Amino acid sequence: RRPRPRRRRPRRAREQLPRGRPRPRPRRSRPAPAATGACGACHLSHASDIPSLLTDTAPALCGRCHELRSPTGHAHLPFVEGKCLACHDPHGSRVEGALRAEGPALCATCHAAEAAPASGPGGHAPSAQDCSVCHASHAGARPNLLKDSQDRLCLSCHATVMGEPSA
C-alpha cells in the first residue's frame, strides 16, 4: 500500500505577511524517530506493560541514540533517576534539545523557589534569562551543577571589579 499524501491545511489570513509571504515557522527540535515518523522505533502497536505502548523504559529508549553515562560528582536528580521526559519531549518541541520549555520556565517547574527571586525585583538578569549560563543540565563536578567556580562565573561577565580589570 502506498501512503496517502499529506493534505496541506489552508493558510489563514493572519499567517500571511505583507505581500502574501507565509510567516516563518519556528524550527522544531525532534528526536530522529519522531522526525522521520518511525513510531515503531519506540512504540509497540498493540500492547505493552510500559505506559504509552513503549518498547522499553524512557532511559533505555533514550540510550539507544544518546550516550547516557553514569554521572560522576553532582547530578541532576531527574537525570540520575532516568526521568528524561521530565525535561525533554520525545516527540519534539520548538525549543532546542527537544526541551519542554525554554530556560527558566523549564527549570521553574521543579525549582520555583529559586526561580522566583531571580526574575523578581533585584534579581540577577542572567539567571532570569537562562539558567544554563551558569548551571549544567545533567551532571557536573561542582555543587549545584555550577559550570565553574562562582567567582569565575561572575568574572566571566563582570570583567571589572570595583573599576579595575580582573585578573
**Average pLDDT along the chain:** 80
**Amino acid letter, residue 46:** H
Report, as an integer, the average pLDDT of 126-143.
87
pLDDT confidence tier of residue 26, bands split at 50, 70 and 90: low
Q: Are 57 and 105 in contact (CB under 8 A)?
A: no
Q: Considering Cα of 113, then 127, then 92, then 48, what sign does the dihedral take?
A: negative
**Residue with more model confidence, 1 or 48:** 48
Alpha helices in 17-167 (DSSP H): 32-36, 58-65, 77-80, 103-108, 112-119, 125-129, 150-157
Say what the pLDDT of residue 32 is: 84
Strands (E), the chain: 74-75, 139-140, 160-161, 164-165
**Residue with more model confidence, 14 or 46:** 46
Report, as an integer, the average pLDDT of 137-154.
91
Percent of the chain with pLDDT over 90: 28
**Residue with more model confidence, 5 or 99:** 99
Report, as an integer, the average pLDDT of 136-154.
91
Convert the pLDDT of each residue in 85-133 to its tens digit: 999 999 989 998 899 998 888 998 998 888 777 777 777 877 777 888 8
